Structure 1
Amino acid sequence: MVILIVIILLSFVLCAGLTFAMMPVFARYLTAQPNERSGHRVPTPQGGGAAVVIVTVLCVWIGIVASDYNVNGLRLHILACSAVFLAIVGALDDKWDVPPLVRFIGQVAAVAVVLMWGVDGSNILEAYMPYQVVFLVTILAGTWFINLVNFMDGVDLIVVGEMVPLTACIGLLGWFGFLGSLESLVAVALCGSLLGFALFNWPRAKLFLGDVGSLPIGLIVAWLLYETAAQGYWAVAILLPLYFCADATVTACRRLVNREQLWKAHRTHYYQRAADSGLSALRISSTVFALNLVLCALAIATVFWPTPVVQVAAVVGGGGLVGICMRSFSKRM
């Protein structure tokens, strides 16, 4: 399993180097202007996610070639092509503001393609519902996850603080043989790439991820969580993304009740409330990172002690911690 360490280090170095090399391009063509949703007050280059996606895909292929892993090449190609497709959609949106309906159709198409040809395992819901219903529900869930990652990318380092522990945990579970080789490689490659990007996203950020990064990262992580759940580790799949899912979903439900348009810019997420009350981006992202380390520990506990009592207790306990975090962010208003 030395290859996993090599890949995470290689992806870190390559992403940092590629991002540095592409900075003039980002600054010239993909500058994010301050708006109602943004947390920055001056124009800032965006598009760093392009380097993250390129390096992640490249390092996964390197890992497969350099190791004796027996992986399903079709799954990798489908996932990679779908991620690149969403990166292109995101890049166009970063530059020209793609209409929400077009973005949505592209996201649904990418998720559907991955579900049809890019997964290896049956959905655990198929024991309770017809396949067609499960397929539709899973497409909607995957599309929502892609969007919530995009919605939550509103403070420096917050995506890094969420996704680095998540992907590191999946890579660690793969190290111990609980998850497949492809899942492990994808997780550590994305983890290292995000760490390389973090050098430029550290507050005050010199570079933002952009939709070119948040959309494909959402797809890749949704795929990782789906495969994790399909292999029986449903508690892990719930715990690892729990903060992002809770903040985004509760906020969306509240806005729907208030008859607000979900695609319109706003600053009512819990982490945004904390930022508007004066909490620094580094403090917010550090809190999310620390919370996710605890969620990872709970997730790992459910794998090593896979009893219903431990799994339910871990999910309930993790939900309580996420609720406390969101409440502390909200109370700062």
Structure 2
Amino acid sequence: MYIVFSSILAFCIGLIIFPFLIRWIKQSNLMDLPGGRKIHKAAIPSMGGIGILIAFALIIVLDIAHIPIGKYQYLLVSMAVLFLIGFLDDWKELSALQKLIGQLLAFTLVVVLGEVRLVSFYGLLGIGELPLWLSYGLSIFLFVGLTNAYNLIDGLDGLAGTLGLISCSFLGAWFLATKHMSEGVICLVMAGSLLSFLVYNWYPAKIFMGDTGSLPIGFFVTVFLLIFVQYNGILPDYSFYKFQAPITAGLIMLVICCYDTLRVFVRRLKKGKSPFAPDKSHVHHFLIRMGYRHDQVALFLGGIKCGLIILVLFLKDVQEIFLLPGVVLLVVAMGSMLNALTLRRVREKVKNAPRVLAKSPYTVQKIQKEYNKVGDNPSLEIGK
């Protein structure tokens, strides 16, 4: 009973906190201004992560959820470090190097002292238990990649919160089903906190998550993803809850974020740009250009993630060597289909543009610019 109570209480605390937080951010003028690659049209309060983490921390620190804090002290300290990095970045914008140094400190702490790491490949490529040095290095690399992938997906009302909510809910349910009560409660408390945030972040958003939230929450999901892989590995083969492809099942928790980040990096490199150069080529930007609203995009991508989770559940007895490449190919195929649909939609917009506007060089340049954002920029003919 305390499990449900803890999650609901986190949700209620968040509902109470956010109106005060929004008011304080407006008074402090810590607003996220429109312009550049940002797609919102008005100044919106950022730093919504403050409310999420306050609701979460109150439940955990006050022992309402009956969690042994000592067992998770490194997780909590690392989340605090990432929260501070995100807060400073939202406030005065840190350099990429400053953020990376702070992140490496937090990740090393939880990997080396907290022992949250990838300990085995579980038979993938014939590899079992990893040497300690490789386990440390690979785990820190995963933390850097997955945490920042979640951070990059936070560009749309309700999107990051929805994806985080799905991950925390699934992981919480799995931990409870396998009798890992502490981990299950922690995940569901975070789910309750995220749900309260979504009430105010749903389109049209009254507050954004900001790096203050996306960094510690992306880290949180990665931590419990790796714990899920570890605990799954020690389950007996006859267990109903055991995944024969635990790495694939774990990565599904951040599959949308991973695909989007890799896809954007590849596109930028192909164009001769830095993979870290900001632009509007993320998956959610494409869907917005197709005419969908923020809430529709969040539900669409959340639905895809739920569908992939259900697929992996049905295929839980398939070995890693088969399921991992299969899921990768499926995700790439769906992404390619989305690219093709977006390109066709933009072509239709150009084709249906009023003929009289074709006489305006400014209008031609504007349409050409929009078109170039999407595809490989084939020739554009106006008025034919």
Same fold (TM over 0.5): yes
Counterpart AA for 1:146? T
Is the Cα contact below 8 Å between 2:264 and 2:275 reproduced in 1? no
Counterpart AA for 1:332? T
Is the Cα contact below 8 Å between 1:157 and 1:202 reproduced in 2? yes
Moved more, 124-133 or 52-61: 124-133
Give me the CA root mean square deviation. 2.3
Question: 1:327 and 2:336 equivalent?
Answer: yes
Question: 1:208 and 2:208 equivalent?
Answer: yes
| Structure with the greater alpha carbon radius of gyration | 2
- CA 1:139/1:257 → structure 2, altered by over 3 Å: closer, same or farther? farther
Quote the residue 1:98 is aligned against. 94
How many Å apart are 1:52 and its aligned residue? 0.7
Is the Cα contact below 8 Å between 1:165 and 1:296 reproduced in 2? no
Quote the residue 2:318 is aligned against. 308
Quote the residue 1:256 is aligned against. 269
SS at match of 2:205: coil
- CA 1:122/1:205 → structure 2, altered by over 3 Å: closer, same or farther? closer
Quote the residue 1:132 is aligned against. 133
> After superposition, what is the alpha-carbon deviation per residue over 1:47-104, rounded to whole angstroms, capped at 9, x for unaligned?
1111112222222345x5554x6x4x33411111111111111111111111110001
Return the alpha-carbon distance in structure 2 between the equivalents of residues 120 and 114 of structure 1: 6
**TM alignment of 1:1-333, pairs within 5 A:** 2-27=1-26, 28-62=28-62, 64-67=63-66, 71=68, 73-119=69-115, 123-125=119-121, 127=128, 129-177=130-178, 180-231=180-231, 232=233, 233-301=246-314, 306-309=316-319, 315=324, 318-319=327-328, 322-323=331-332, 325-330=334-339, 331-333=341-343
SS at match of 2:342: coil
Return the alpha-carbon distance in structure 2 between the equivalents of residues 159 and 298 of structure 1: 22
Return the alpha-carbon distance in structure 1 between the equivalents of residues 10 and 334 of structure 2: 31
Return the alpha-carbon distance in structure 2 between the equivalents of residues 195 and 328 of structure 1: 31
Is the Cα contact below 8 Å between 2:119 and 2:129 reproduced in 1? no
How many Å apart are 1:301 and its aligned residue? 3.8
How many Å apart are 1:129 and its aligned residue? 4.4
Return the alpha-carbon distance in structure 2 between the equivalents of residues 65 and 133 of structure 1: 38
Is the Cα contact below 8 Å between 2:118 and 2:138 reproduced in 1? no
Moved more, 142-151 or 131-140: 131-140
Is the Cα contact below 8 Å between 1:74 and 1:118 reproduced in 2? no
Return the alpha-carbon distance in structure 2 between the equivalents of residues 134 and 325 of structure 1: 32
Counterpart AA for 2:21? M
Is the Cα contact below 8 Å between 2:117 and 2:226 reproduced in 1? no
Structure 1 unaligned residues grouped into runs of 5+: none
> After superposition, what is the alpha-carbon deviation per residue over 1:82-137, rounded to whole angstroms, capped at 9, x for unaligned?
11111111111111111110001111111111111223576114846432123112
How many Å apart are 1:25 and its aligned residue? 1.6
Counterpart AA for 1:99? S
Is the Cα contact below 8 Å between 1:145 and 1:245 reproduced in 2? yes
Is the Cα contact below 8 Å between 2:86 and 2:213 reproduced in 1? yes
Name which structure has the greater RCO, CA cutoff 8 Å, separation 6+: 1
- CA 1:88/1:219 → structure 2, altered by over 3 Å: closer, same or farther? same
SS at match of 1:186: helix
> After superposition, what is the alpha-carbon deviation per residue over 1:219-257, rounded to whole angstroms, capped at 9, x for unaligned?
111101111112223332022221111111221233234
SS at match of 1:123: coil
Return the alpha-carbon distance in structure 2 between the equivalents of residues 53 and 276 of structure 1: 33
Identity %: 21
Return the alpha-carbon distance in structure 2 between the equivalents of residues 122 and 149 of structure 1: 19
Aligned residues: 323
Counterpart AA for 2:112? M
How many Å apart are 1:258 and its aligned residue? 3.0
SS at match of 2:40: coil
Return the alpha-carbon distance in structure 2 between the equivalents of residues 241 and 102 of structure 1: 25
SS at match of 2:10: helix
Return the alpha-carbon distance in structure 2 between the equivalents of residues 163 and 221 of structure 1: 7
> After superposition, what is the alpha-carbon deviation per residue over 1:156-211, rounded to whole angstroms, capped at 9, x for unaligned?
11112211111111111122126x33321221111111110011111111110001
> After superposition, what is the alpha-carbon deviation per residue over 1:4-43, rounded to whole angstroms, capped at 9, x for unaligned?
2212211111112111121112223320112333221211
